[in-house]
A and B are shown apart, each in its own frame.
Chain A
């Protein structure tokens, strides 16, 4: 069959034809796209570069002789390549994105505009400080509101993402213990914690011990306090926790941990549920990271960049990392770096990143905070919690909600895979939701629930959007309970059917090779 250049042909059409193969492999707006290595070549470029003046090389005899193998595309080809790729992604801009613990809320475009102002985007991190006072003012202003919103003493701004923030908090705790001359090798982590918590503790050289949850989905206070002792450095607690519940006992836990000489680290990934209503500082927390890319809506960008400032209690503030912005009485801002840290922050545990952190995220987050204001932020928490409870109560009749009896949830609702038909799983429900036009919820996390499905709708969804999602999920759940075989092979309508992840791991292909080489390697 030759490619039809002229458009629609009347003899086509009908349901059977929809299944017919096309010449291109495309299905109308669902467009296949090759790799740049298959499209481009090393002589093509999409950038016009002025000829270099003739000079004698000073490259030390290291001139590159071997080809690199980097294909180029002209600008129109480049724009088309990435536009086509983008259309194979789901995104918040397309619809509800209910990933639990990820807070996929709308990303206001004002924040994009502000971050791109040349005064912030086109400034070098090592410019003389007198030439970057406005940038330092943004950092200081955001720091002020993060401290105020959390009721803490200080904030370390530089961590690059949530897990980097966790590392910052844990290093501050280790430094504080060192200053006290104590070696406490153990960190307690509830079994419902994010994987980054135990990984961070181990990365910083601690031994991790797990604390069980109660049947109602909260940290087991008795088990935790029983384990406290002179070898325990800290407890890492997520609040609200990953079961979507507020840890009611957190203040009591903090008091017990402090009495035993330890510190309380709070994973702030779920701060969205309480922002503007609850201050973690009032609950005895010593350190908490704030994912600016969650609560304060800096875009996730397909997996980053994030930003993870860490608020610190009075006990940990002296150990904060450098650099650190301070405001002098005359209104002038100053960056504490290695040079003056000895005098200004003598107990700082040191530097965590090359420069000052994620400036591009600070502008966006501050723009978000100022746009919402005190009333708006409180409304964010309330609407996020309202939306999650609405989802919980509308779906608990069709999906098992193991902690629904524990009272209202916070910003996310948790379900399990109980009562599905034989052979059907959480994964099938997730893939069925894809065909309904949704990104699935977080699946198989937290680990404390079998086949977990964690739904976080966020506050930026309308009631109509929630109702449609609830209807879709109810329909898919019923199919899973009735054992609809078509669900086992979902998704049917996505750019790809289920992908073979086992094959990818067993025979890793991580870079492109020309077909001949790829065959030879097999």
Chain B
């Protein structure tokens, strides 16, 4: 077996050195009735690289690949062009096959990268500090709600109807078991968000208000009034950013008063990957740092006075604090954080702003084009690279029919809100730099045919 270096002679020699007759002597503590007496049922013997690769090639061909088709899906995962050097660099064995940097003297590469990543995320979100990553945006969102509870010592969180329904689901799952109280809502197919209702709903029991920016329908709005009202009531404002590229064009939530800003970092560097692994982003105001979940990398000096980096404030974490930790998280998304950080370094501020401008311009073109189709109306007044159109019929079968025509035309609100008849005609369309004018035309033509 190509991955196992011990030879039969090695094994014999080692058993002799141990003083064992056979390998079974080393499993003597396993009760006989718990030991398999033969090979695992149904699993064939070991296979060559070639055989395994063929098996996967066959399965891979059964999927429609985003790059091969006009592609307009978003709703929490975005397709951007990732520079070739990103994937090349994350495959350096010293990054790929390293462990969590618990021995800082021989992990400065990972630690410095994390320090740079934390700084990039904090600046992008308009916050003081950021952590070294979470699993993904949805779990980061719950961690933020949970953290707001610790900070305010209150248990009621108000979630905007504009928050991704899967993020709401994750929060509901957790709140059900922790005893937190969530007020949730659904969006309506209108240009208006529910922030006026949110402002009214905030009271002295509220730990936090959670809004997505841009929201699930792609709408963007100033969060300052919401932040002011939350702070007046002693609550925190949590903003969720699923498309960090947007912040190359629009104001950062932290600059509008958000206390905690979390997000999904997938759109930079990581790729679609059918939903994971992705990278959760988590940033906040400095005064809350000791309530943060997850790993933090900090600057220090070594015994010779040279600058170096270590994991720090570990007394928040499970391996030190056990049941009193701020979270149970251990493994995070280090390699995806690296991919995010490299992509961001390649872009730089100028590249990010240019990329954001191109995304927005393409989205405007697409929105205007689709709104010309008979019976199709644009829901949004404002958006970045994703908007919602209302179709004259249910969007879900339309998306399927578009796929049959080779166009991946968006995410139907029916998929996201299966029980909401009032949303069934909504189609969320994401338009990034990978979309060409021809792709927009292909979508418009196919959509017109399907709607006819």
Contact = CB atoms under 8 A, between A and B. Distances in A.
A67 B251 contact: no
B345 A94 contact: no
Nearest to A99: B99
Q: Chain A interface secondary structure, helix, strand, loop or mixed?
A: loop
A212 interface: no
A198 B167 CA distance: 25
A367 B322 contact: no
Interface in A192-244: 194-196, 198-205, 208
B29 A52 contact: no
B109 A86 contact: yes
Interface string B137-174: 11100000000000000000000000011110110110
A126 B342 CA distance: 26
Contacts of A148: 40-43
Contacts of B138: 353-354
A134 B248 CA distance: 36
Interface string A49-82: 1111111111111111111111111010011011
B24 to A, nearest CB: 9
A195 B36 contact: no
Interface in A483-522: 489, 491, 494-501, 503-505, 508-512
B239 to A, nearest CB: 13
A468 interface: no
A15 interface: no
Contact of B403 (A33, A91, A130, A375): A130
Given A47-B347, A88-B112, A202-B324, A126 B354 contact: no
Interface string B56-79: 111111111111100101011101
Interface in B304-345: 304, 306, 308-310, 312-315, 317-325, 327-336, 338, 342, 344-345
Interface stretch (A4-12, A256-264, A276-284, A474-482): A276-284
A386 B26 contact: yes
B348 A62 contact: no
A54 B419 CA distance: 40
A87 interface: yes
B295 A64 contact: no
A371 B52 contact: yes
Nearest to B344: A70
B99 A72 contact: no
A125 B1 CA distance: 35
Interface residues of A, number: 205
Contacts of B205: none
Contact of B34 (A117, A283, A361): A283
A387 B419 CA distance: 56
Contact of A354 (B76, B314, B333): B76
B179 to A, nearest CB: 6
B17 A85 contact: no
A371 B116 contact: no
Given A373-B45, A509-B298, A511-B122, A54 B361 contact: yes
> Which among A125, A163, A361, A385 has the greatest number of chain B C-beta atoms within 10 A?
A125
By size class, the interface of chain B is 35 or more
Interface in A303-344: 303-307, 321, 337-339
Given A71-B348, A203-B328, A283-B34, A385 B94 contact: no
A371 to B, nearest CB: 5
A354 B99 contact: no
Nearest to B11: A386
Given A251-B34, A355-B276, A350 B348 contact: no
A469 to B, nearest CB: 14
A272 interface: no
Given A135-B274, A393-B17, A376 B4 contact: yes
> Which among A61, A377, A509 has the greatest number of chain B C-beta atoms within 10 A?
A509
Contacts of B60: 117-120, 134
28 contacts: A49-B354, A52-B357, A60-B220, A66-B252, A82-B89, A88-B109, A124-B66, A126-B75, A131-B64, A132-B274, A138-B56, A163-B331, A171-B173, A195-B321, A201-B323, A278-B34, A302-B98, A304-B100, A337-B418, A352-B173, A359-B275, A374-B40, A387-B14, A489-B303, A498-B105, A499-B301, A504-B300, A511-B118
- The 3 tightest CB contacts between A and B, nearest first, are A72-B348, A119-B60, A355-B275
Given A339-B419, A494-B106, 5 more contacts: A35-B115, A36-B116, A50-B433, A60-B222, A357-B276
